[in-house]
Every structure is written in structure tokens, then in C-alpha cells.
Amino acid sequence: MGVAEPNPTFSPSSTATPGAFVSQPVPGPGYPSSSSNTTLSVLEARRRLQDEAAAEFDRTGRSTDRGREFLDVATIRDILILRDQGIDSAAIESRFNLKAGVLKRLGPPGAVSALAS
């Protein structure tokens, strides 16, 4: 919006001298840069993850398939149920064609569970 300038009207009590208010160029809006804007950073991260998930889906079943990393809720629930039953992590990752270590990122056994207490 810029700096407010007083209305140039005569006032006997005014201490301002005539012509003291010189118009100065108004700087542009003070928006944060895109690299420090949290909302833009989140949207960029979401776009990047969506692209990675789409690429993983396209590789499914091909020779370039290195295993899954992006999981849907139903698959996560099934994985947690097997883990709660004591099935070995490597066997679960093999069964669901997961990248090595995906199960570990869900936290240690007992931290997250699909079974109601």
C-alpha cells in the first residue's frame, strides 16, 4: 500500500513545513522468497513425492522394479498385522515386494500396531 501522505490542507496548529512531504518510490510487496515460504515448500515436496510415487507405480512388475516404498493404508495394516504376529521383517518385505528397510521406517514393533488393545 505504501506510506500514507497527509492531506495538504492548512492547519494553524500544524508543525509540518509546506513541501516537507516528498513522494518516494514505494517498494514492492514484502513477500518471503519461495525458498523460505513454508506453504510453497510443502507444495513442492508434495509434488515431488507424487512424481516419485507415480514413477514407482509405472515400474511395478518391470525389470527396473526395485520394490515398493509408497504404501496404501490397507497394505500398511496388513503389514502391521503380520509383524504383530511375529513374522520376520525380511519375509514381510519379500511378500509385499517392499524395498529393504521400508518396514523399519514404520517404527519398532509395538510402536505402531494394527490390532486394537
Q: What is the pLDDT of residues 42-94, one digit of tens each?
A: 999 999 999 999 988 888 777 766 788 889 899 999 999 999 899 999 999 99
Q: Look up residue 70 and give its DSSP letter.
A: -
Q: Are 103 and 87 in contact (CB under 8 A)?
A: no
Which stretch of DSSP H or E encloses residue 79? helix 73-84
- Residue corresponding to grid cell 506453504: 39
For 28-37, write each residue's pLDDT tens digit.
Answer: 666 667 778 8
- CA 24 to chain CA mean position, Å: 40
Which of 5-9, 67-71, 94-98 is least confident? Answer: 5-9
- CA 91 to chain CA mean position, Å: 31
